[in-house]
Amino acid sequence: MKLVIATRNEDKLIEIKEIFEGSSFELSSLSEFPQAPEVEETGDTLLENALLKAESAAKATGLPALADDTGLFVEALDGEPGVRSSRYAGENVSYEENRELLLENLNNVPKAERTAKFVTVAVFVDEIGHIKAEGEVVGLITSEPRGSNGFGYDPLFQSIYSEKTFGELTRSEKRAFSHRGKAFEEMLRILDTKFIK
């Protein structure tokens, strides 16, 4: 079964394709469909943004679509950056600019109070409706970036499962307990049950 992943983010695309590798689903990138419009993430929740992206991709390509939205929720910052994680320092900013603002806002916060969680909401959309799966991982924000793997806030996030940040883990190590790994592995289980049986 052919599906389109509603993203042009190559980092995210690699993670999702690795999870679906060996499955009965053939995944295409939104980059293969130049007619597909960019979607403005105007939703107030991760689910709303994921649905906006998946519905737009399905309409533009004629294929069932997978999409996700991910947020980093930092307790000491009342849940910021949250649903605006990719735009925390402004529109069209780099990963580094977002990380710098996060560290600046946590400057005087002690380690014990730097708790955070990554949450991913993944959705599948076809002509019948949508399916949702979620993944979450709890950890803390380090005082400085560590590691060059991953993307986004990965070099600052240390989960409860490891002494390393996500930026220090290999992709397979990260996938074993990451928010996106959990969400898309659950999605794959649901889709296998629904379509493959």
Q: Which residues are catalytic?
A: 69
Largest CA distance in the chain: 53
Closest among 13, 137, 150, 134 to 73, alpha carbons compared = 137
Neighbour tally for 160: CB within 10 Å: 11
Residue appearing with tokens 């002494």: 163
And the tokens for 32? 């293969």
* Cα(152)–Cα(66) distance, integer angstroms: 20
CA distance 65 to 53: 9
